[in-house]
Amino acid sequence: NAGVTQTPKFQVLKTGQSMTLQCAQDMNHNSMYWYRQDPGMGLRLIYYSASEGTTDKGEVPNGYNVSRLNKREFSLRLESAAPSQTSVYFCASRDQGVPQPQHFGDGTRLSIL
């Protein structure tokens, strides 16, 4: 039972490079989320997908794009990485209905030089 799987776990990029973070869940959840975690700021929502085929902006969407490829997969793309995007990125998924807890992946630690 993998739950939510994120790849890669670590990545170093140079400013201006592009990259896609992958997320897949095997729990048949409808909703999926991308957060970033910065020191002292908790987790902030970047984008979410309430169901397959829909995506919406969260609190900090600038500089990111997402794709809900199918029910299982939700990717996050940085088109032109900036040092301010150095962070730990978490993907999460949740079952529908009465707010169920979100299940989180183990995170991707991204450094942009």
Partner 1 sequence: AQKVTQAQTEISVVEKEDVTLDCVYETRDTTYYLFWYKQPPSGELVFLIRRNSFDEQNEISGRYSWNFQKSTSSFNFTITASQVVDSAVYFCALSGPARQLTFGSGTQLTVLP
Question: Which residues would be at the binding site for partner 1 (CB under 8 A)?
Answer: 31, 33, 35, 40-45, 48, 50, 56, 58, 88, 90, 92, 94, 98-104, 106-107
Report how far residue 90's alpha carbon sits from residue 37's, in angstroms, rounded to the nearest whole number: 8
Minimum separation from the CB atom of position 16 to partner 1 (A): 28
Whether residue 27 contacts residue 112, with contact meaning beta carbons closer than 8 Å, is answered with no
Minimum separation from the CB atom of position 68 to partner 1 (A): 15
Report the residue number, 58 or 63, with the smaller CB distance to partner 1.
Answer: 58
Report the residue number, 74 or 90, with the smaller CB distance to partner 1.
Answer: 90
Helix (H) or strand (E) holding 92: strand 87-94
Report how far residue 62's alpha carbon sits from residue 82's, in angstroms, rounded to the nearest whole number: 11
